[in-house]
Structure 1
């Protein structure tokens, strides 16, 4: 049994069953919207499938694949698991646990702007890994924010076959495109509905609920330098360090599209935070800028 469930259905590219402005902010790190989406998805899943669950059913929830920086749907999934586990606890069932689909490749191309064939061509060489021993015999719940062409779902289904995991599984989405006449770049329209510049991003990253994800990190690192610099100078040292750590963890500083903005960030951190100076200097040598340091 492998069921697909979507809380909302998209049938055209004009009217949406949810606020597209909220969705756009969610994709760029609005943790409050992520929490609301995860809660709503859990409540919908429980209403549709709660009577199928049993005390002997160990659930494992796996958000969409990522390398190091989580996706927006990861943060949605965090809220989903909390609500699901409250339901399971009340009935005396085992709580759901989480696991990761390990992804070993990242790219700078905006996936949401592509058609189906381009999506398949882009991700065909991606490498993924599942912990077969841990997942064996458990019911798997794969979560994502939106299903447009089903390309990622197909990859996961093939991955299950590769690892010989014949588990019962659910593929859950906050929304699903149900009209094949609508171009897949509808996803791009939703992603950038309310976030279309660094200026429009400021309200999201300045909110207490802001959570870093891959999209917002890449968007900042790929922005025009003048606007990027202006935005960075308004942020706290804690924010800048977290941005830098995200950049390093996904090796974005080694990608041509992001290198200049990443270098500026590292150089700036060396100037304002002593610990970054010690990271970037050689023993018994003067502090160097990032481009000439051991991190280069």
Structure 2
């Protein structure tokens, strides 16, 4: 089992070897930053392990952090990582990498980044996961995540490998990792919200062409104070809001009390504007939804 590799080491709670503002934007769907992070991680991985990969010639399988229906931010980074690594493999006459997923069957509204080690483990220890053993057996596995703070998720994956009897060579890759144990794990939240303090800070991110939905931003929007939520959705396109609703349903957020108020308002708003979810008509230019009929708050 190969030790974990991190492109950046977090050794101070107040300064970082990477741009904290960019990292925050990445966590909320900035696809351009995800592209850069993925390319940088792939380059660092190749520099350290490229020779080993060439000598092994074993089929590589890349797996981003576990998710249910909505990918995490690390998934977007993984897409960029794959392109760089595939070019390297092709240059050396090796087979392209394969992609796989760790299926996760539980979700929660708690902000994981604010928790300490014990609370993190208590939260995820009872999650249910699935891996396709027959597909993964006898291949080199590359697990990718954006950050390693306590190592709890890595511990879960290592346990899964044992549970599914997968004694594979495995790499655990991170864009950054906390290397000082005296720094509280909530440093992750400091980074996550470095650039995003309120829902209004999302406008610049979601209105760019390279925006990519992920679990974090869907939960953040649905948990926003109702008045702020109304102001935010009134400035978004029908396409954006429809995708938001569909993603929320796919992860079961419509069944969670924490998201009920915002979700139901948005769901009803879309029905009112589109007349029916079964409507197939589309206008040439999508209108911006307004909140003129919003309930008082």
The residue that corresponds to 2:79 in the other structure is 78
CA distance in 1, matches of 2:83, 2:266: 35
The residue that corresponds to 2:93 in the other structure is 92
Q: Residue 142 of structure 1 contacts residue 171 of structure 1 at CA under 8 Å; is this kept in 2?
A: yes
The residue that corresponds to 2:49 in the other structure is 49
Please state how far the C-alpha of 1:278 moved relative to its aligned partner: 6.0
CA distance in 1, matches of 2:79, 2:278: 35
Matched, 1:104 2:100: no
Gaps of 5+ in 2: 281-297
The residue that corresponds to 1:168 in the other structure is 169
Tell me whether 65-74 or 266-275 shows the greater mean CA deviation.
Answer: 266-275
Gaps of 5+ in 1: 280-296
Q: In the comparison of the two structures, how many residue pairs are matched?
A: 279
Please give the secondary structure, in 2, of the residue aligned with 1:268: helix
| CA-to-aligned-CA distance 1:194-221 (integer Å, 9 cap, x gap) | 1010111111111111100000000000
The residue that corresponds to 2:243 in the other structure is 242
Alignment of 1:75-224 (within 5 A): 75-224=76-225
Please state how far the C-alpha of 1:2 moved relative to its aligned partner: 2.1
The residue that corresponds to 2:268 in the other structure is 267
Please give the secondary structure, in 2, of the residue aligned with 1:173: strand
CA distance in 1, matches of 2:260, 2:98: 37
CA distance in 1, matches of 2:50, 2:71: 28
Q: Residue 120 of structure 1 contacts residue 151 of structure 1 at CA under 8 Å; is this kept in 2?
A: yes
Q: Residue 145 of structure 1 contacts residue 174 of structure 1 at CA under 8 Å; is this kept in 2?
A: yes
The residue that corresponds to 2:29 in the other structure is 29
The residue that corresponds to 2:283 in the other structure is none
CA distance in 2, matches of 1:273, 1:134: 43
Cα RMSD after superposing both structures = 1.2
TM-score (norm 1): 0.92
Please state how far the C-alpha of 1:275 moved relative to its aligned partner: 4.3
TM-score (norm 2): 0.92
Please give the secondary structure, in 2, of the residue aligned with 1:149: coil
CA distance in 1, matches of 2:241, 2:217: 13
Tell me whether 17-26 or 47-56 shows the greater mean CA deviation.
Answer: 47-56
Tell me whether 37-46 or 228-237 shows the greater mean CA deviation.
Answer: 228-237
CA distance in 1, matches of 2:49, 2:164: 26
